Amino acid sequence: MTDANIIEIFCILDEFCKYFASELKKHTLDICGKRRRNRPCLMSNSEVMTILVLFHILRHRDLKSFYLGYVCNHMRKEFPHRLSYNRFVERQAKVGLHLLLFLQTCALGKCTGISIIDSTPLKSCNIKRAHSHRTMKGWA
């Protein structure tokens, strides 16, 4: 993964986050009299989403080793204001809706009519006991 690819992913996500934040602000209800903290976080939502997208693209096994081992050590230049892992996981939960909507609206291609079906057989029970299972009645 080159720096240009990471920057391209970040720019696409950043544009989406700016648009989504403005749209979300239009449709949220304000509670009168309640004060809210609007202190900015060190990492923006688009940076957190970029790290999550990179985690899936680079196919690491678990997020903790990817974040602590790869992002914090090898990507210091790309992400200068990194969070601790615990804070990153908290931010990940808040960014989940943004990432889901981005994937649904922008990242999915058009359906070509070709679908892949997994033909892995499901083993439910031993064939000798198939007659006694009510859940598989009519199938087995």
Neighbour tally for 101: CB within 10 Å? 14
| 52-87 pLDDT tens trace | 989 988 888 888 999 999 988 888 888 888 889 999
Does 42 or 46 have the greater pLDDT score?
Answer: 46
The pLDDT value recorded for residue 118 is 58
Band the pLDDT of 31: cuts 50, 70, 90: confident
Percent of the chain having pLDDT more than 90? 7
Task: Identify whether the C-beta of residue 50 lies closer than 8 Å to the C-beta of residue 12.
Answer: no
The pLDDT value recorded for residue 122 is 59
The pLDDT value recorded for residue 125 is 65
Q: How many angstroms separate the CA atoms of 131 and 137, rounded?
A: 7
Band the pLDDT of 51: cuts 50, 70, 90: very high
pLDDT value at 128 more than 60: yes
pLDDT value at 136 more than 60: no
| For range 38-60, the mean pLDDT | 85
pLDDT mean across residues, the chain = 80
Task: Identify whether the C-beta of residue 43 lies closer than 8 Å to the C-beta of residue 81.
Answer: yes
Neighbour tally for 69: CB within 10 Å? 11
Q: What would the two tokens of residue 73 be? A: 């050590």
